Structure 1
Amino acid sequence: MLKTTPARTKKVIEILMDWYQKKTEIFTNAELPEALIPEGITIGSYDHIMFLTQSVSIDYMRSAQQLWDAARTTWKDETTRWVFYPKEIAKRNLEDLIDAMSKHKLSKKHTKDPTTWRKVALSFNNLFDGDPRNLFQKFNYDALQIFNSMRSQYGKDFPYLAGSTGTSKILSLWIRMLHDFAKVEFRNLNEVPIPVDIHTARATITTGCLAGEFSGTFGELADKTKKAWIEACEGTGFYPLQLDEPLWNLSRYGCSNYKNGSTCPVRHQCRLRNYCVTENASSKIFLQQNNTTTIVTEYPEQQ
């Protein structure tokens, strides 16, 4: 059974956030793939919001770096840029969209990705005149209300983006991206759960935010992860969405290098090594999104 130790994790949060802000050691060149916007786009503009919104709608079970590189290339190509605009998508058929999204490998699933992309675009077109900002305005830019309405009222209209089963990370991720990169001024961001993918889950386990034994689906682990970070953030001055980028990059540049039964090759660059459960040789971590996830961890003797 997995357990939480909020007092311990609060120390982890303080170290992590200070370290990430200073961008030293493994974080020296840390960034997020979606942070780089195509040339010519103004931060916070309609173009920027649609670039982020449509791209993240298919951010599931694929390389984030490949997705965002392909999205930028598709935007740069004037013959394919139209795929980011709901009103333009409404004028064309699915086959046109399949061809355009395949040109620069924006689509990895031949028909599934374009079908999802088209559904999202047409829903924004039909419900909000093609502009997500009309959705935000409807709920007075309240992030929690937007989150809840997408999960319930608009769940069928926005596949994946609304956080359907198996893709629940995307809705939180979308809200966080819009706030961090498009500078959308949402309220109640502290109420939105952290998006959980393989990287966030791994960093949650290695830092000991969740520790003990677990065997089950990745979705079950993701639910426990969200609750654990909500609990740990209480009284810290931080909220879960703020931890998404640092945790994701902690795993990407650090924890992903660890192999069970070995010493982490980047531990000398990690300011959280005294808290890392991999310092205990008995810890075993097997994270899999499509198969059974198994975890057996213990805290290191010295912290």
Structure 2
Amino acid sequence: MHAGGLLGGEVMPEDALINVVKEDELLDVLTLAMALNYQRNSYSLWESVVKAYQDPKTSWIFNPIVVATKDIHELREALLLHRVGLQPNRHPDIWQRVAKGIVHSSEQGNVQGLIESVEFDNLLLKEIMQGSRKTEFPYLSGPKIFNYWLYVLECYAKVSWKSRELISIAPDTHILKATVKLGLCTEEVLIGSGDDRIAVANAWIKALAGSGLASIDVHTPLWLWSRAGFPPLTVT
């Protein structure tokens, strides 16, 4: 039904980068921007990212090596110029901390090097980013954004993960609502606590067991369906 365009649309926020960002820079752009992809309109974020990427005055913000050593005041001005960052203190700090985390984790100083250092093993990457070096990857290390980040890198940058079947659905507000709508969880999970999100993620793992699908595979259809206000699930 998703493939047939019956769930409310097929354009995702990250589609704004297609045919805009260079292939060898895509991993860095996706990763740095996704560290700010929470509690805001995702479409607006990626539109701002495109503007900043195309502007010679601000394109450097997507280079982890440059960002890691840049004066925080310069970084703040660049992030706010096209509204990539909205919070003048918090967002530049997060952006620079993630950039430093990437540089410290990779000989090449970029996301490609970080992924290669774990030999495309998403479980090992999870241990690093959610465990031993969690403080270097604020928000990106959170279970919601981390799993969706893995999925986005797969979809847009063609990263092939060793254990993709273990990539959990990213239980944001739309996924919570869609899960309740389909009866997999009760309305209590709509409170959105950490335990609620874990319950939703586990519900999808159980529901899709033996189907050949990873739970992250249903993220986009559910997200679009919820965002569109749940158009009826009828096949025409």
Tell me the TM-score normalized by structure 1.
0.73
**Which one of 34, 50, 68 corresponds to residue 14 of structure 2?**
34
Count of aligned pairs between the two proteins: 234
Structure 1: which 4+ aligned runs deviate by more than 4 Å?
Answer: 212-217
Contact kept, 8 Å, 2:176 with 2:190, in 1: the verdict is no
Are the structure 2 counterparts of residues 216 and 203 from structure 1 closer, same or farther at C-alpha, using a change threshold of 3 Å?
Answer: closer
Matched, 1:130 2:109: yes
Provide the residue aligned with 1:271 in structure 2: 234
- Which is greater in Rg? 1
Question: Does the CA contact (< 8 Å) of 1:202 and 1:251 recur in 2?
Answer: yes
Aligned pair in 2 of structure 1 residues 233, 141: CA closer, same or farther (>3 Å)? same
Q: Partners of 1:244 and 1:231 in 2: how far apart?
A: 15
Q: Normalization by structure 2: what TM-score?
A: 0.92
Unaligned runs of 5+ in 1: 1-18, 256-265, 273-303
Which residue identity lines up with residue 212 of structure 2 in the other structure? Answer: G
> Deviation digits for residues 60-110 of structure 1, max 9, x if unmatched?
111111111111111111110000001221342000010001101111111
Check conservation: 1:147, 1:172, Cα contact below 8 A: no
**Residue 42 (structure 2) pairs with residue 80 (structure 1):** no
1:240 to 215, 218, 224: 215
Measured in 2, the distance between the counterparts of 1:26 and 1:234 equals 23
Per-residue deviation, residues 199-223 of structure 1 (Å, max 9, x unmatched): 1111111111113656855322111
| 1:9-31 deviation line (CA, Å, top 9, x unaligned) | xxxxxxxxxx11222x343x322
Identify unmatched segments of 5+ residues in structure 2.
Answer: none
**Aligned ranges for residues 122-201 of structure 1 at < 5 Å?**
122-128=100-106, 129-163=108-142, 168-201=143-176
Letter in structure 1 aligned against 2:3: Q
Query: Contact 2:208/2:215 (CA < 8 Å) preserved in 1?
Result: yes
Q: Residue 82 and residue 38 in structure 1: after superposition, are their counterparts in 2 closer, same or farther (change >3 A)?
A: farther
Distance 1:211 1:108, change over 3 A: same
Q: Quick check: 1:34–1:68 contact (8 Å CA) kept in 2?
A: yes
What is the RMSD computed on CA atoms of the aligned residues?
1.8
Question: Out of 14, 21, 29, which is 1:51 matched to?
Answer: 29
Output one character per residue of 1:225-278: Cα deviation in whole Å (capped at 9) or x when no partner. Answer: 0110111110112111111111111111133xxxxxxxxxx43xx339xxxxxx
Overall identity of the aligned pairs, in %: 25
**Which letter does structure 2 place at the counterpart of 1:130?**
G
Task: Mark the CA change 1:46 to 1:31 in structure 2 (over 3 Å): closer, same or farther.
Answer: same
Structure with more strand by fraction: 1
Please state how far the C-alpha of 1:46 moved relative to its aligned partner: 2.8
Q: CA shift at 1:149, angstroms?
A: 2.4
Supply the distance in 1 between the matched residues of 2:60 and 2:220 (Cα, whole angstroms). Answer: 30
